[in-house]
Amino acid sequence: MRNFTLFTLALALVVILLGAFTRLTDAGLGCPDWPGCYGYLVVPQEHQHAIAEARFPERPVEMAKAWAEMVHRYVAGTLGLCILALALMAWRRPAAPKGLPWLLVGLVVFQAALGMWTVTLNLLPLVVMGHLIGGFSILALLFLLWLRQSPQRGPLPNGTKPLGTLAVVATGVLLVQIMLGGWTSANYASLACTELPVCEGDWASRLDPEAAFHPLPPPAKSYEFGVLDYPARMTIHVSHRIWALITALVLLLLALRLWTQGLRREALAVTGVLMLQLMLGIANVVASLPLPVAVAHNGVAALLLLSLVAVNYRLWQRSRYE
Ligand code: HEM
């Protein structure tokens, strides 16, 4: 079951990367219906285009986008089945964790509903960001499930006790940063500031937090390419940058404390992945969001979250020795 959990974890990472690819290639509405594609089980063939376009006249078939969307759905469906299989395996094994696999089943069902609403609500930013967070939560919990089946590591060095709280705070700070990233992407605010390190123009006097963080944007037929005006998008972008600074400081403090307490492997993992993520974020801005960089920025955010799950697990597992 441990190996199958690892396989499912890897599959979840693939689904997250496919989701980022779909979002970043503007293929989220590549199939305007759900769960089918223009009413078909697979992407409509050339000879079916006329019928497909009669069903959805406002959305001519674009094969590349439809394929991106459907591949994401098929692989996500496979992930859902693997999670269900994990829950059934755990149920039959007396020593296996029981609650976590079924929590994952519930989450993956909700995630499928969010995937449906992403399409039916025409990329409403709250749903798009929620779908991203759902994916990250599934990944983090699968990793936790794998850790719980892994051999126990030795007792912690003395003095690491207070680090547990710092690790939880750092995870909270990182989650806010991931949400802000998802909000940046879902509101098409990625290119609202093009200069570094500070946004161009009189940005500070034009901030509009109310419009930027209102959960529901002004009603629109579709939210593809964003509906917020420039000050709101710029505010979202700037917030993601400023919170990145706070995240970096908190995570570096955690890494420093881990290092001095002898947990060097954990300290190096957090620092290394954080540095990579910051470089990818900066490259996003400098090079105007190249697709591979933007997809990698999403994937490395997921890895950063996993590094903190590992740190928390290590620090809090001490209760088993006490
Ligand atoms: C700890 C640091 C950071 C984390 C965890 C993080 C995380 C994220 C996440 C999860 C997304 C959403 C990606 C998606 O929807 O596919 C995102 C988007 C973005 N991030 Fe970051 N980020 C960090 C730092 C930065 C920095 C320092 C910059 C620039 C200076 C930056 C620029 C961007 C941009 C432009 C986007 C939008 C890309 C898009 O449209 O997909 N990020 N970030």
Longest dimension (CA), the chain: 70
Distance, CA 212 to ligand 1 centroid (Å)? 16
Instruction: Give the pLDDT score at 322.
Output: 42
Residue 278 CA: which ligand 1 atom is closest?
27
Give the mean pLDDT of 208-217: 95
Distance, CA 94 to ligand 1 centroid (Å)? 42
Comparing 21-30, 221-230, 232-241, 282-291, which segment has the lowest mean pLDDT? 21-30
Instruction: Give the pLDDT score at 151.
Output: 84
Output the six-digit token pair for 260: 């001095």
Q: Do residues 73 and 27 lie in contact, with contact meaning Cβ atoms separated by under 8 Å? A: no
Write out pLDDT tens, residues 150-193: 888 777 777 777 799 999 999 999 999 999 999 999 999 999 99
Domain coordinates of the chain in residue numbers? 1-151, 159-322
Residue 136 CA: which ligand 1 atom is closest?
10
Instruction: Give the pLDDT score at 211.
Output: 95
Instruction: Give the pLDDT score at 89.
Output: 94
Residues contacting residue 143 through CB under 8 Å, at least 6 positions apart: 9, 306, 309, 310
Write out pLDDT tens, residues 243-291: 999 999 999 999 999 999 889 999 999 999 999 999 999 999 999 999 9
Give the Å distances, CA to CA, from 212 to 28, 60, 174, 317. Answer: 22, 32, 20, 40
- Region label for 269, one of left (φ > 0), alpha (ψ between -120 and 50) or beta (otherwise): alpha
Give the mean pLDDT of 193-203: 90
Instruction: Give the pLDDT score at 320.
Output: 46
Q: How far apart are CA 89 and CA 83, in angstroms?
A: 10
Average pLDDT, the chain: 93
Place of tokens 């974020």: 281
Would you say residue 144 has pLDDT above 80? yes
Return the best residue to mutate from 126, 174, 185, 237 for the ligand 1 pocket (most ligand atoms within 8 A of CB).
Answer: 185
Give, as one character, the DSSP assignment of residue 155: P
Write out pLDDT tens, residues 109-120: 999 999 999 989
Q: What residues pair up with 37 in beta bridges, in sequence order?
A: 40
Instruction: Give the pLDDT score at 59.
Output: 87
Interface ipTM:
0.95
Q: How far apart are CA 206 and CA 268, in angstroms?
A: 39
